[in-house]
Chain A
């Protein structure tokens, strides 16, 4: 069965420090992988996506993620966090298996301290 695990419910980093948010997935075929960000009171916005090809993908707002098939992971990174990055981040997995059920992780809330 498809599943997405985000092991960290919340993370606190200092402004200017690097960030890595973890995501592990379970999927029976080649996955489509996504990272979304949700600011308070807002809907979700796509940060980046992986369908195929280069396993290091670049997204908006300076984020990147690396797909590691052997580890079933798709971790999100940013070299230097800004206070405006404080939000909730969701990893999601889907795929072209005939279904429509993109599965979302439970989310990781990022706090940024000055």
Chain B
């Protein structure tokens, strides 16, 4: 019953450092997503992967890169972290597009 698993749960970075957020799902879903959540702004889509081997930009892709490693795993990379990237990041997956998404528990990232 793991669903969508994100690691790490918390992270503090210094400006300019890089890191990768990991996400894995065990529901055999085709589509995976990365969102960021900021107060008063809901969730904004960073990148998504419609299926294994494809990735596309969402609403706020600047400063991020993604890799769909296989059907289960979808990672988000910050190459040079900035304070504006302080946020809570959620990974999600769905069987097909636009239907019910299942969310991980989130990664709280602080960039100082």
Q: Which A residues contact B (CB, under 8 angstroms)? A: 4, 9, 32, 34, 36, 41-46, 49, 90, 94-96, 99-102, 104-107
Contact = CB atoms under 8 A, between A and B. Distances in A.
A99 B96 CA distance: 11
Contacts, number: 62
B47 to A, nearest CB: 10
Name the residue among B35, B40, B103, B105 with the largest chain A CB count within 10 angstroms: B103
Contacts of B35: 104
B9 to A, nearest CB: 9
B79 interface: no
Nearest to A94: B98
B42 A105 contact: yes
Given A43-B4, A100-B98, A90 B43 contact: yes
Given A43-B4, A43-B106, A44-B90, A104 B43 contact: yes
Interface residues of B, number: 27
Contacts of A46: 100-102
A43 B104 contact: yes
Contacts of B104: 43
Interface of B: 4, 31, 33, 35, 40-45, 48, 50, 56, 58-59, 90, 92, 97-106
A66 to B, nearest CB: 19
25 contacts: A9-B40, A32-B98, A34-B100, A36-B103, A42-B106, A43-B4, A43-B92, A43-B103, A44-B43, A44-B101, A46-B102, A90-B43, A94-B97, A95-B98, A100-B31, A100-B45, A100-B56, A100-B97, A101-B48, A102-B45, A102-B98, A104-B35, A104-B43, A106-B41, A107-B40
Nearest to B57: A101
Contact of B99 (A32, A42, A99, A105): A32
Contacts of A107: 40, 42
B12 to A, nearest CB: 17
B103 A44 contact: yes
A91 to B, nearest CB: 9
